[in-house]
Amino acid sequence: MKTVLVVGSSNTDMIIRVAHIPRPGETVLGGDFSMAPGGKGANQAVAAARAGGRVRLIARVGEDVFGERAVLNFEADGIEVRFVLRDGRAASGVALINVAADGQNSISVASGANAFLVPEDVLKAEPAFEGADIVLMQLETPVETVRAAAELASIRGIPFMLNPAPARPLGDDLLATVGVLTPNETETEILTGIKVETGEDARRAAAALRARGPRLVVVTLGDKGCYAAGEGFEGAVPAFQVRAVDTTAAGDVFCGALAVALAEKRPTADALRFASAAAALSVTKLGAQPSAPRRAEIDRFLIDRAGPPTT
């Protein structure tokens, strides 16, 4: 079992199912309300753990019921939590999510304690890097914290994987430390100025991002799959077609599963196929972390849909 170190955010998701996403100024009477653990860092940690990784998490939560419940949930998935800090200055992060009938969503986030995960926290948690096979981060914590983790990973020779979400511009100094970069279409456009509407757009954008440092760039395209460019592999990987119920955290599940597959030294094409299967399974269920599939489910899905992986 390979070790995945996740550094990032933890939120509680408050979810309302609605007929359609509200427009500005519009009130939509929704249906069911639910709460579920979320946050991109936490989502990816849970996804990696269920996909077969040994996971450690560096994060901050508030000293409140949401933070307490988050830690209990991490422990239930076998995630090592000794590097999850409790913060008395801020509440735990919260996300308000509208999920439409077609599975699309809109999300507003109050970062709370996530905003106080600082570089010093990463440096104090340096033992978490010991024996890690890959480090996985996102952008729901300060970018200085991302840089600190990237530098520690580089010093130790650990592959560093960055999901650049939520979207923001990033400097070449940070991108030069990234081994695997996984932007979606919006994030790709912000990073490159290339609007991704076609396969050729994805190819050009991936090439532009690779030129800035990452050894593998995976442009995720939702239900159209992804386009990847790296050493030994370049091309489109189609998504598995399923009936979507909720697309929340599908990208996080993809990233968590991909981190595990890459840590296991799978060929890039097989790693992307594994991650795509995990993401497809996740959209058939409601919620962020509750939707993350387990390893046996992913393996069974791959055999049922496409036959056993190549070796």
**CB contact set of 242 (below 8 Å; sequence gap of 6+):** 280, 281, 283, 284
Look at residue 30 and give its three-state secondary structure: coil
C-beta separation of 59 from 85 below 8 A: yes
Closest CA to 55 of 5, 112, 117: 5
Euclidean distance between CA atoms 151 and 158, whole angstroms: 10
- CA atoms within a 13 Å half-sphere pointing along the CA-CB vector of 36: 20
C-beta separation of 137 from 149 below 8 A: yes
Specify whether 246 is catalytic.
no
**118-152 per-residue burial string, b: 16 or more CB within 10 A, e: under 16:** ebebbeebeebbeebbbbbbbbbbbeebbbbbbbb
DSSP string, 190-247: HHHS----SHHHHHHHHHHHHTTS-SEEEEE-GGG-EEEEETTEEEEEPPPP---S--
Choice among 13, 133, 252, 304 that is catalytic: 252
Residues with a known catalytic role: 252
